[in-house]
Amino acid sequence: MLARLLRPGGRRRNPADFFGQADRLRRGGHYAEAATLVASGLALDPNSVTGHLLAAYLHVAQRTIEPAKREFRWVLGRDPAHPRALLGLARIALEEGDLVGCRECLTSALRAYPDFPEARAVLDALTTPPPPTSSSAAAAPRLERVRLPGAARALVVVDGEGRALVARPASEEAAPRLARIAGLAGAALRRAGFGPLRRAILEDHEQTEFVRADAALTLALALPRTTPIPQGLLEVNRLWGAVQHELAVAHDEKPVPSPEGVRRVS
């Protein structure tokens, strides 16, 4: 395919052809092939905003974050209100915990393009989780008993209001990060008409997080990046059932206050 595109006497030396094919490959998950085509297109047109935006997307997909930032900023240097570049930087900032920078990028995008549902969905997800309540504290000891897979990197369980029920190993950032990610994904799904978040697979360069959620609970299990997807799904489903069981037991163990003035007789 590349030989045909690059043939000196051929008719398909238009950079747009490279970028169009690269975008199709990117959406199909063929990042290396897409990157080769983007590089070829940029060699013909180094000032292509489309080409640099595609390069940024590919860096994000392959978890090379600093080059992605540079490409998004290159685009913004040519078009300071480019909505996709602003959204790209906002998502990176959100992942890095820079909520101020994320909000600034989203606000700029929505100022120029008020009807930008993806930016609005991310902005809607920027909520700070409230502090844990006594009910969360009561459930934590039971959830600490849940057996993790041997290869597990972490387990985070968050209630429907974004409060951490358990984070293993203990981390101040794990639960808020999961709450932000779940809120972002849920807001995007609802705006697209797909309903609430139920399951998700989040891939990083070192690990994969398998997520299950409903209106009352969000659970994320981090496993090594090499874990087969079916195995990860089985493990998170097992933990989902175990967590639900422990929460039900914790609820049943809560003392029931006696009515005032009535003595309880056992």
Helix, strand, or coil here: 81?
Answer: coil
CA distance 236 to 210: 6
**Do 179 and 213 sit in the same domain of this protein?**
yes
175: left (phi over 0), alpha (psi -120 to 50) or beta: alpha
Q: What is the DSSP letter of 266?
A: -
Q: pLDDT tens digit string along 20-73?
A: 999 999 888 888 999 999 999 999 999 999 999 999 999 988 888 899 999 999
**Do 10 and 113 sit in the same domain of this protein?**
yes
The two counts, helices (H) then strands (E), for the chain are 11, 5
- The structural domain count of the chain equals 2
The answer to whether the beta carbons of residues 136 and 163 sit under 8 Å apart is yes
- As given in the structure block, the two tokens for residue 83 are 């909505």
pLDDT of residue 262: 43
- As given in the structure block, the two tokens for residue 139 are 């459930």
Residue 49 in domain: yes
Q: How many CA atoms within 13 Å lie on the side-chain side of 174?
A: 20
Q: pLDDT tens digit string along 193-228?
A: 667 778 888 776 678 888 888 878 888 888 888 889
**Do 148 and 97 sit in the same domain of this protein?**
no
The answer to whether the beta carbons of residues 125 and 180 sit under 8 Å apart is yes
pLDDT band (50, 70, 90) for residue 84: very high
Task: Output the CA–CA distances (angstroms, integers) from residue 101 to 59, 96, 110, 143, 174, in the order listed.
Answer: 20, 10, 14, 35, 20
**Do 116 and 144 sit in the same domain of this protein?**
no
**Single residue among 101, 124, 147 that ends a domain in this structure:** 124
**Do 98 and 203 sit in the same domain of this protein?**
no
**Do 20 and 112 sit in the same domain of this protein?**
yes
The answer to whether the beta carbons of residues 6 and 40 sit under 8 Å apart is yes
Residue 71 in domain: yes
Residue 260 in domain: no
Taking residues 113-125, report their average pLDDT: 82
Give the amino acid at 38.
V
The answer to whether the beta carbons of residues 148 and 236 sit under 8 Å apart is no
Give the amino acid at 127.
T
The answer to whether the beta carbons of residues 77 and 61 sit under 8 Å apart is no
Helix, strand, or coil here: 157?
Answer: strand
Q: Which residue has the higher pLDDT, 121 or 258?
A: 121
We report the CATH number of the domain holding residue 244 as: 3.30.450.30
| Domain range enclosing 73 | 2-124
Q: pLDDT tens digit string along 129-188?
A: 444 444 455 556 667 778 888 888 888 887 776 677 777 776 556 556 666 666 666 666
**Single residue among 98, 124, 150 that ends a domain in this structure:** 124
Residue 21 in domain: yes
We report the CATH number of the domain holding residue 19 as: 1.25.40.10
**Do 20 and 114 sit in the same domain of this protein?**
yes
pLDDT band (50, 70, 90) for residue 122: confident
Residue 47 in domain: yes
Residue 265 in domain: no
CA distance 256 to 185: 38
Residue carrying structure tokens 């003595």: 263
Residue 112, pLDDT above cutoff 60:
yes
pLDDT of residue 128: 46
**Single residue among 82, 98, 124 that ends a domain in this structure:** 124
pLDDT of residue 261: 46
**Do 98 and 163 sit in the same domain of this protein?**
no
**Do 14 and 75 sit in the same domain of this protein?**
yes
Report whether the peptide linkage leading into residue 169 is cis, meaning its omega lies within 30 degrees of zero: yes
Comparing 118-132, 142-156, 242-256, which segment has the lowest mean pLDDT? 118-132
**Do 141 and 101 sit in the same domain of this protein?**
no
**Do 207 and 108 sit in the same domain of this protein?**
no
**Do 67 and 175 sit in the same domain of this protein?**
no
pLDDT of residue 266: 36
